[in-house]
Structure 1
Amino acid sequence: MTGESKGPVGQEIEARLRAALNPQRLAVINDSASHRGHMGDDGTGESHFTVEIVADAFVGQSRVARQRLVNGALAELLREKIHALAIKAKAPGE
């Protein structure tokens, strides 16, 4: 399954990022199908994700600081349910 995730982990990622960062734009893309059978694939179909997010919280922040904000909002999920997360974080207008 590739594309905007509709599963419970994808929904939880979206809910946590909306609550923490109030994004203007957010896409949670499930990349797990591309990693089926690879290390970290737990068989759930929800282990690898890409997040594309635009939020005011990223204004004046470095790429690393932006990733830390996203990772902080998803810390528990990263420990327990997400094997890999690609982050594309931008400030409005970028």
Structure 2
Amino acid sequence: MTVKKNIENKLNNQLHPTMLEVIDESDLHRGHLHARPEGETHFHIRLSSPAFDGLSRVEAHRLVHDSLKEELKEQIHALRLEIIAP
């Protein structure tokens, strides 16, 4: 399974988003430190979820990071989050 698909599966299963877009931006970082030639290291995630109701922006980001903690350890080098209020 690709890193992108794994991210989508985890976020769908854990946060039940009303909107989810996972964009692999690795090609924009080709040649940078920790960028793998095959990509799948730099992601932009646009996400809206009822799980974010009542949370601050920092708390919502933490929730996403907790959901992807295993991927962030070894697979994902950079993660850009765009949290959209539900």
TM-score tier (shorter):
over 0.9
The DSSP-based 3-state class of the residue aligned with 1:26 is strand
Structure 1 residues 36-55: aligned runs within 5 Å? 36-55=30-49
The DSSP-based 3-state class of the residue aligned with 1:79 is helix
For residue 3 of structure 2, the aligned residue among 2, 6, 9 is 9
Give the TM-score of the pair, scaled to structure 2.
Answer: 0.95
The DSSP-based 3-state class of the residue aligned with 2:45 is strand
Q: What stretches of structure 1 move > 4 A for 4+ residues in a row?
A: none
* Contact 1:30–1:48 under 8 Å retained in 2: yes
Residue 21 of structure 2 aligns with which residue? 27
The DSSP-based 3-state class of the residue aligned with 2:13 is helix
What residue ranges of structure 1 are gaps of 5+ in the alignment? 1-6
- Tell me the CA shift for residue 90 of structure 1: 2.2
What residue ranges of structure 2 are gaps of 5+ in the alignment? none
Pair 1:65 & 2:47 matched: no
Q: Deviations over 1:12-50 (max 9, x none)?
A: 000000011000000000100000001120222110000
The DSSP-based 3-state class of the residue aligned with 1:85 is strand
CA distance in 2, matches of 1:33, 1:42: 10
Give the TM-score of the pair, scaled to structure 1.
Answer: 0.88
Pair 1:75 & 2:75 matched: no
- Tell me the CA shift for residue 57 of structure 1: 0.6
Aligned length: 86
